[in-house]
């Protein structure tokens, strides 16, 4: 037994609760969005009181920032441990697939910046901005490499591809299909990937 069993245990419990809070916040953010998510919602979902919640995160802004940082970290990790033999375009496709599965699993849209208000708020979170810029740099390089090797259209400005790529990670069509079509999650992912890379048009025979 450790010499500091009590302290260690407490800290561990504290950390566990912190994760539970972030999980709850993530789920609520995904369903109601930032503006409608209240700190009461989060506290109730975790089963603690609001003041206790504020012991962990000193504001709603900070709580959401941490939840999004966890998401970005997940994406960066997934990208980092990817098979190095994959082509740039294959890596982009695999990461988009990951992001779609996260969302279908009740998680957050990858890029929550649909709202100008939220985007502006996140701008003030230096840790978040730093991590996003790091990931963005990697994705930008992948897009440029894929355009150079002919996998992606090099007549399009790379900005267009990059921003559209982000947009596909939070495509509302995913929720509509989940709610109003009878498709299972696998089919949704497959179709969304195809639409993202090939569009609606009939594919050329290959």
Partner DNA sequence: GTCTATAAGGAGATAGAC
Partner DNA sequence: GTCTATCTCCTTATAGAC
Binding-site ranges for DNA (CB under 7 A): 10, 14, 17, 36-40, 48-52, 54-55, 58-61
Binding partner at 78 among a copy of itself, DNA, none, C-beta below 5 to 8 Å by kind: none
Q: At what angle do helices 5-32 and 39-46 cross, to 10 degrees?
A: 130
Q: What binding mask, one character per residue, do residues 103-122 give for a copy of itself by CB under 8 A, x or -?
A: --------x-xxxxx-----
User: How far from chain centre, in Å, is Cα 186?
Assistant: 19
Q: Which does 156 bind (CB under 5 to 8 A by kind): DNA, a copy of itself, none?
A: a copy of itself
From the list a copy of itself, DNA, none, partner contacted by residue 58 (C-beta under 5 to 8 A by kind): DNA
**Residue 119, SS3?**
helix
For residues 168 to 187, the per-residue mask of contacts with a copy of itself, x marking binding by CB under 8 A and - elsewhere, is --xxxx--xx--xx-x---x
The residue (of 11 and 141) whose beta carbon lies closer to a copy of itself is 141
- Do residues 68 and 128 lie in contact, with contact meaning Cβ atoms separated by under 8 Å? yes
Q: Is 102 helix (H, G, I), strand (E, B) or coil?
A: helix
Site string for a copy of itself, 83-102 (x = CB under 8 A): --------------------
Q: Which two three-digit tokens encode residue 111? A: 């890029």
Please answer whether residues 146 and 89 qualify as being in contact, where contact means their C-beta atoms are separated by less than 8 angstroms.
Answer: yes
Helix 88-104 with 185-198: angle, nearest 10 deg: 140
Binding of a copy of itself by 189 (CB under 8 A): no
* Number of Cβ atoms within 10 Å of the Cβ of 129: 13
192 binds a copy of itself (CB under 8 A): yes
Instruction: Choose among 110, 56, 50, 51: nearest CA to 79.
Output: 110
Q: Name the site residues for a copy of itself (rule: CB under 8 A).
A: 31-33, 35-36, 111, 113-117, 150-157, 159-161, 163-167, 170-173, 176-177, 180-181, 183, 187, 191-192, 194-204
């Amino acid at each position: 037994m450790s010499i500091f069993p009590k302290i260690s245990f407490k800290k561990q419990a504290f950390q566990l609760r912190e994760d539970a809070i972030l999980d709850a916040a993530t789920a609520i953010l995904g369903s109601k969005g930032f503006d409608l998510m209240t700190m009461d919602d989060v506290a109730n979902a975790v089963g603690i009181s609001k003041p206790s919640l504020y012991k962990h995160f000193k504001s709603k802004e900070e709580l959401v920032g941490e939840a999004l940082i966890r998401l970005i970290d997940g994406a960066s990790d997934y990208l980092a441990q990817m098979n190095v033999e994959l082509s740039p375009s294959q890596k982009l496709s695999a990461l988009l697939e990951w992001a779609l599965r996260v969302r279908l699993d009740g998680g957050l849209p990858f890029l929550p910046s649909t709202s100008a208000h939220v985007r502006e708020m996140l701008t003030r979170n230096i840790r978040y901005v730093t991590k996003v810029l790091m990931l963005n740099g990697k994705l930008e390089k992948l897009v440029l490499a894929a355009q150079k090797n002919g996998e992606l259209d090099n007549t399009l400005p790379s900005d267009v591809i990059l921003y559209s790529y982000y947009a596909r990670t939070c495509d509302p069509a995913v929720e509509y299909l989940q709610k109003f079509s009878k498709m299972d999650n696998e089919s949704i992912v497959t179709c969304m990937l195809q639409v993202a890379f090939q569009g609606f048009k009939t594919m050329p025979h290959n």
